[in-house]
Amino acid sequence: MINCPGLVRQEAQVGTASVSVARLTLTDFRCYHSQRIETGSGPVVLSGPNGAGKTNVLEALSFLVPGRGLRGAKLAEITRRDTGATGATDKPWTVAAKLETPNGPVDVGTGREAQQSGRREKRVVHIDGAAVRSQAVLSEYLSAQWLTPQMDRLFIEGASARRRFLDRLVFAADPAHAGRVSAYEHAMRERGRLLRHGQPGSGRAADPEWLSVLEQTMAGKGTAVSAARLEMAARLDEVAGLAAEDGVFPGASVRVTGTLERWLEEGPALEAEDRLKQALQQCRGAEAEGATVPHGPHRSDMAVRHLATGQTAELCSTGEQKALLIALIMANARLQGRERGSLPLLFLDEVTAHLDETRREALFEEILSLGIQAWMTGTDTALFAPLQGSAQFFGVADAVITPQ
C-alpha cells in the first residue's frame, strides 16, 4: 500500500506477466569498478546528487536488451577509466543480471569483449553461462522502454529522434525490425557512396546493375520498415487515445507521416515498393551531385497530437510535452501487456522533472497498478515519497550504491 491518500496498489493486469531484475552486477562500467545491487520485483528508486552515477545504472540496464543502450554509446566509451587517465582503453566491461521471469530465473550477461589485435570490438552475450551468437536473443527474455531528460525535447527537435523512439517500440514487438532498418541504412549509404565516387579503385562510374540491386534492397526493406511503423502507430494510437479527456495524463493521437507512408496508405505494399524503387532510379543524377535521398523511411516522422486541446505536441508547453511522452510510454506498456501477455521494464531518468504532484502520483499509481518494475532516478528522494513501502530505495554517491 502506498503511504499517500488516494493511491492504492492494485493487482497487475489479468493475463500479463512481469519480468524483473533481482540482481544487477556492474564491472568496470562507466564510473563503477565493481558494484552489485539486490532488488525485489517492485519499483526501484535511485537518488543522489548529479554526477553520482545514477544514469549509468540505467544505461547498464538498457544493455539487457538488444541495441546500443540508452545513450547510443560506442563500446569503448563505456569502459571505466582510472582517475587521471586519458585516451581509449582496451579494458572490457560487463553487465550481469539475474532475471525473475514467468518461466523461472535466468542469468544474463553482456559486455565488451577483450580486445585482440586486428579484431573489431564486439559485444558478447551470455544466457545462463552459455555464449549466444546474437544479442537479439535478449529480446526473448525481456523488453524495456526508457525516458531520459534529453527525450524531453523529442517533439521539438529533429525527426530522427522520433523515428528512433518509434523503432524501439516496434522492435519490442518484432525483433527483426532492427535488422530491416540496418539493412536499409547500409544499402542507402553504399548507394550514395557509389553515386558520388563511382566504383572503388577503378575510376569508373557506378555499375547500374549494382545500383539496381541496392535500390531493390532499399525498396523492399524500406517498405517493410514503414509498414511496421504504421502498424505500431495505429495500435499505439488506439491505446493512447483511450485516456479520458479529464484524465491526469492526456490522451494522444499518433501518426507516421512521409511519402512512403502515404503510398502504403493509398495502395498495396508491393505497389509502394515499386514506386520507391522507381523514385530512387529517377534521382540518381541529383544524388550524384550531392542531393539527399528524397523518399524512404529515413524521411519519415512521428506526429503526436494532444487530444483534449487538439494541439500538436511541438506546440504544447514543456510540462504537457513531458506528460504526452509519459502517456505514450505507459500506453505502450499496456499495449505490450495486452498483445504479448508480458510487461516491459521501465528506466525513467529524472522522471519527476516538469511533473507536478498530481502527475507524479498518477505515474507511480499506474506503475504499481500494472505491476511493472520501473527503475527511477532523481536528486530529491522526497519526490518519491508516495512510493515508500512499495518501492526499494537506494542512495547513490561517488559511484557507490547503498540501500536506504
Most confidently predicted of 67-81, 233-247, 381-395:
381-395
Using 50, 70 and 90 to split pLDDT, how confident is the model at 16? low
pLDDT tens-place string over residues 248-302: 899 999 999 999 999 999 999 999 999 999 999 999 999 988 888 999 999 999 9
Grid cell listed for 359: 502527475
What is the pLDDT at residue 126?
Answer: 97
What is the pLDDT at residue 115?
Answer: 64
Q: What is the mean pLDDT of the chain?
A: 90
Taking alpha carbons only, the member of 81, 87, 137 closest to residue 109 is 137
Gap between the Cα atoms of 360 and 356, Å rounded: 6
More confident residue, 103 or 247: 103
Task: Check pLDDT > 70 for residue 11.
Answer: no
Q: Which residues contact 253 (CB under 8 A, 6 or more apart)?
A: 237, 240, 241, 304, 305, 307
Share of the chain above pLDDT 90, in %: 80
Q: Which residues contact 88 (CB under 8 A, 6 or more apart)?
A: 76
Instruction: Tell me what the mean pLDDT of segment 202-217 comes to.
Output: 87
Gap between the Cα atoms of 349 and 124, Å rounded: 26
Task: Check pLDDT > 80 for residue 3.
Answer: no
Taking alpha carbons only, the member of 100, 141, 49, 1 closest to residue 373 is 100
Task: Check pLDDT > 80 for residue 181.
Answer: yes
More confident residue, 270 or 116: 270
Q: Give the residue carrying C-alpha cell 518509434.
A: 166
Instruction: Tell me what the mean pLDDT of segment 80-102 comes to.
Output: 80
What is the pLDDT at residue 243?
Answer: 66
Task: Check pLDDT > 70 for residue 326.
Answer: yes
Q: Name the pTM for this structure.
A: 0.90
Share of the chain above pLDDT 70, in %: 90
What is the pLDDT at residue 244?
Answer: 54
Instruction: Tell me what the mean pLDDT of segment 115-128 comes to.
Output: 79
Instruction: Tell me what the mean pLDDT of segment 381-389 comes to.
Output: 96
Using 50, 70 and 90 to split pLDDT, how confident is the model at 65? very high
More confident residue, 89 or 325: 325
What is the pLDDT at residue 296?
Answer: 96
Instruction: Tell me what the mean pLDDT of segment 41-59 comes to.
Output: 97
What is the pLDDT at residue 87?
Answer: 53
Task: Check pLDDT > 90 for residue 200.
Answer: no
Task: Check pLDDT > 90 for residue 122.
Answer: no
Task: Check pLDDT > 90 for residue 8.
Answer: no
Instruction: Tell me what the mean pLDDT of segment 103-123 comes to.
Output: 83
Gap between the Cα atoms of 13 and 277, Å rounded: 45
What is the pLDDT at residue 121?
Answer: 77
Asked if 390 contacts 24 with a C-beta cutoff of 8 angstroms, the reply is no
Using 50, 70 and 90 to split pLDDT, how confident is the model at 26? very high
What is the pLDDT at residue 290?
Answer: 87
Using 50, 70 and 90 to split pLDDT, how confident is the model at 9? very low
